[in-house]
Structure 1
Amino acid sequence: MVIPSPLERLPEKLGKPFDVELWIKRDDLIHPVISGNKYRKLKYNLLEVNKNNFNHVLTFGGAHSNHIASTAYLCKQFDLKCTGIIRGEEAKQISPTLKASLEAGMDCQYVSRSEYRNKNTPTYLEALQTKYPSAYIIPEGGANELGIKGCEEIVTECKDLTDFDFITVDCGTGATLAGMVRQLQPHQKAIGVQVLKGQDFISNEVEDFSPNYSDKFEIWTAYHFGGYAKFQPELIQFMRWFYDQTSIKLDPIYTGKQFYAVFDQLKNGFFPKGSRIILTHTGGLQGIEGFEERYGLEIYPNEHRRYKK
C-alpha cells in the first residue's frame, strides 16, 4: 500500500507548448487492485465496518466496476462476507472483474437494470437491510459521506504543491469531486470530466454532497466518447501516445477520457499561461482486460499500434 500516493511532474515537453506545468497524482500506485479513488472511498467505510463489528458488506456495481473489484478484495483481506448487487442479467461469459470478485468470495446477486435504478431509494434499501440484517451497505462507487471524506485527502496530499491552480478528475458520480472541492484554496479550481453520456447531473450530486462550493468546480460533459465504457479511435490513439511519452498507462473508461479532455482543452487555450495543473490518476487499470475482450483490441500492444482485425 503506497500512501500518500506520489505527486509527479509530467515531462516538461508536454506542458511547454502551452506554457503550463503538468503534474499527476499517482493514485494508480496505491495498490494494484484497490487503487485510485476506490481506495479513498472505501477507506473510512471499512473503518466504520470495523468500529461497529459488522461482518458483512453489501454494495452495488456493474460487470466492469472497479468499486466491485476493490470491495471484494478488501473484504477477503478482512475476512468479511461480501455481497454485490450487480446491474444486469448474468452473462454466459462473465467479465474478468466479476470473475476476480467471485474468486475473492463475493456473492454476486444479479438484478435487472430497472430494479437497479432503485438502488438509492429508501424502500429498496430497507428491503435489502431486512434481507441482509447483518450487512453494512455501501452505495455504488462508495458515494456516501465517508467516501467523500476519503476523497478530500487527494487534495490534502498535494500540500507540497500548494500553489497549483487546477486539479482534474474523471467522474462517474459526484462523490470524488465533492470531497476534493472541500479542500481547495481560494485560488484553486477542480474540473470533473464526466465519463457518462447525459446531462450535467454530476454538478447536482457534487452540490448535494458539498453545498456552497459551486464556484470551486466545473464539469466537462463533452468527453464521454459515446457513453460509459464506450470509445472512439482517437481516445485509444491518445492513450498510446501518452504511454509512449510517459510510460504511464491510462484506462479507457475513466482516466483516458479525463487526460484526453485536459490535453484537448490545452489546445483550445482554456488554461491560462503559467498554470499549474494536477491530473488525478484514479486507477482502474484492472478494467482494461475486460474492455479489450469486449471490443477485440489491444490498447497497449508490444509491437504495433493498430486494432486487431
Structure 2
Amino acid sequence: MSPSEVVSAIISQTVPTHPLPEWQGEGRCDVLRLDKLDAVVSGNKIFKLMGHLQAWQASGCSRLLSFGGAYSNHLHALAAVCAQANVALTLMVRGFADLPLTPTLADCQRWGAQLQFCNRQQYALRYDEAYRQHLAQQWDAWVIPEGGGGVEGRQGCALLAERASGYDEVWLALGTGTTALGMAAGLAVETKLVGVNCVADQGEQQKRWQRALGFNKRWQVLDQYHGGGFGRCPDAVKQVIQHYDALELPLDPVYTAKVIWALEQEQAANRLTNVRRLIIHTGGLQGRRSMGLSPVPAASYPA
C-alpha cells in the first residue's frame, strides 16, 4: 500500500461518539472517540499526516524526516504508517543516544525508522527554515515539522470538522494548534471552537490564532489549564485520568485529560452555557507509558 492508501484506509473508519460519562453540567457533552480510530495510529495524528504524505509523494524525495521527543505521538504514528507503506524514515529525536530507548522510540526503531538524536541546541533549530532545507538536501527527504504542523498538516484536519456537525461548541487540546486551525476552516459558522492550550507559552497560541483567524468570538483559547507546561501532569490531571479509567474512557496525560479537566473547572466556576458540546479525543494513549499508566493500546504491528 502507498502512504496515501494507508492513511485513507484509517481515516475512512467510523468512530463512535459517546456521552461524557457522569456529565451533570450545563447542556449536552459528548466525546468523539478518535482514540478508537486505529490500534496504533489513533487520534488526530493520522489527519495531520495526510497532506504531508501527499506532498512527499509529489516531491519525488526518497524518504520522510521529522522531529519529536522521546514519547512523541507524532513520531509513533508516522513510523507506523511508513512501516506499513515501506517508506524510509529519519526521526530527529530530542535526547541522547546513550540513554535507554523509551517504549515509543523502541516501537519506532522496530518499525524501521532511523533515529538521529539531537541535544537541546541542535533540536532548537527545528524551526529554522535554512536548517530544514539543509536536512532535506542531506537526507533527500520531505521534512515534516514537529507534530505534523504547517499548511499540509491542516489540510487533513479540516476533514474532522465534518464529524463535529450538529454541535454548538467543539473542545480540543492545543499543542502546535494544527488540528484546531484545520478544523476552524470547515466548522459551521455558528459553531464555537474552544482550544485548551497544553503549552505554557505566555499567550503565543492566542496570538497565533488571532493572526490566522482574526478576532472572532467563535474562537476561544483557554490558557490556564496546561498544568505547568507541555508534558506536565499535575495531581489534579492524574485524578481525572484515574476517574475516567474507571468509567472506561482512557485519557492521555498530555492532551485530552487536560481538556476534560478544563471543562470540569469551567463548569465548577459556572462559566459554561447550556449548549451541545463535543470533545475531540485526540488519541495519544501510547504516551501513557511515559507515566507508567495502563492500559495502553496494543502496539504490535507492523512486524
Superposed displacement of residue 74, structure 1: 0.9
**TM score, norm. by length of structure 1:** 0.86
Superposed displacement of residue 286, structure 1: 0.6
* Cα distance in 1, alignment partners of residues 110 and 206 from structure 2: 36
**TM score, norm. by length of structure 2:** 0.88
Which of 87, 90, 103 is 2:94 aligned to? 87
Q: Using a 3 Å threshold, how does the CA distance of structure 1 residues 237 and 13 change in structure 2: closer, same or farther?
A: closer
* Cα distance in 1, alignment partners of residues 108 and 21 from structure 2: 40
**Aligned residue-pair number:** 287
SS in 2 for 1:36: coil
> What letter matches 2:18 in structure 1?
R
Question: Could you say which residue in structure 2 is the equivalent of 1:305?
Answer: none
* Cα distance in 2, alignment partners of residues 219 and 264 from structure 1: 15
Which of 170, 173, 176 is 1:170 aligned to? 173
Note the 1:202-213 alignment, pairs <5 A. 202-208=205-211, 210-212=212-214
Q: Which runs of no fewer than 5 residues in structure 2 stay unpaired?
A: 1-9, 297-303
* Cα distance in 1, alignment partners of residues 40 and 291 from structure 2: 16
Q: Using a 3 Å threshold, how does the CA distance of structure 1 residues 5 and 120 change in structure 2: closer, same or farther?
A: farther
Which portions of structure 1, spanning 4 or more consecutive aligned residues, are displaced by more than 6 angstroms? none
Q: Using a 3 Å threshold, how does the CA distance of structure 1 residues 66 and 300 change in structure 2: closer, same or farther?
A: closer
SS in 2 for 1:222: coil
Q: Using a 3 Å threshold, how does the CA distance of structure 1 residues 188 and 91 change in structure 2: closer, same or farther?
A: farther
Question: Could you say which residue in structure 2 is the equivalent of 1:117?
Answer: 124
Superposed displacement of residue 242, structure 1: 1.9
* Cα distance in 2, alignment partners of residues 13 and 118 from structure 1: 45
Which of 17, 24, 48 is 1:8 aligned to? 17
Question: Could you say which residue in structure 2 is the equivalent of 1:180?
Answer: 183
Check conservation: 2:26, 2:267, Cα contact below 8 A.
Answer: no
Question: Could you say which residue in structure 2 is the equivalent of 1:31?
Answer: 38
Check conservation: 2:172, 2:280, Cα contact below 8 A.
Answer: yes
Superposed displacement of residue 3, structure 1: 2.9
After the TM superposition, which of the residue ranges 3-12 and 22-31 deviates more from structure 2? 3-12
* Cα distance in 1, alignment partners of residues 175 and 92 from structure 2: 18
Superposed displacement of residue 299, structure 1: 5.6
Q: Using a 3 Å threshold, how does the CA distance of structure 1 residues 89 and 158 change in structure 2: closer, same or farther?
A: same
CA RMSD after TM alignment: 2.0
After the TM superposition, which of the residue ranges 71-80 and 88-97 deviates more from structure 2? 88-97
Determine whether 1:149 maps to 2:155.
yes
Identity %: 26
Question: Could you say which residue in structure 2 is the equivalent of 1:255?
Answer: 256
Write out per-residue CA displacement over residues 138-171 of structure 1, whole angstroms, 9 at most, x where no aligned residue: 1111101121011111111233xx2x11101111
> What letter matches 1:135 in structure 2?
A
Q: Using a 3 Å threshold, how does the CA distance of structure 1 residues 4 and 278 change in structure 2: closer, same or farther?
A: farther
Write out per-residue CA displacement over residues 40-78 of structure 1, whole angstroms, 9 at most, x where no aligned residue: 100121123234443300001111100011111111111
SS in 2 for 1:215: coil
Check conservation: 1:184, 1:216, Cα contact below 8 A.
Answer: no
> What letter matches 2:266 in structure 1?
Q
Question: Could you say which residue in structure 1 is the equivalent of 2:244?
Answer: 242
Question: Could you say which residue in structure 2 is the equivalent of 1:129?
Answer: 136
Superposed displacement of residue 177, structure 1: 1.0
> What letter matches 1:63 in structure 2?
A
Write out per-residue CA displacement over residues 255-277 of structure 1, whole angstroms, 9 at most, x where no aligned residue: 1111111121122122212x111
Which of 19, 26, 34 is 1:19 aligned to? 26
Check conservation: 1:240, 1:299, Cα contact below 8 A.
Answer: no
Check conservation: 2:50, 2:155, Cα contact below 8 A.
Answer: no
SS in 2 for 1:289: helix
Which of 197, 205, 228 is 1:194 aligned to? 197
Question: Could you say which residue in structure 2 is the equivalent of 1:304?
Answer: none
Question: Could you say which residue in structure 1 is the equivalent of 2:231?
Answer: 229
Check conservation: 2:15, 2:32, Cα contact below 8 A.
Answer: yes
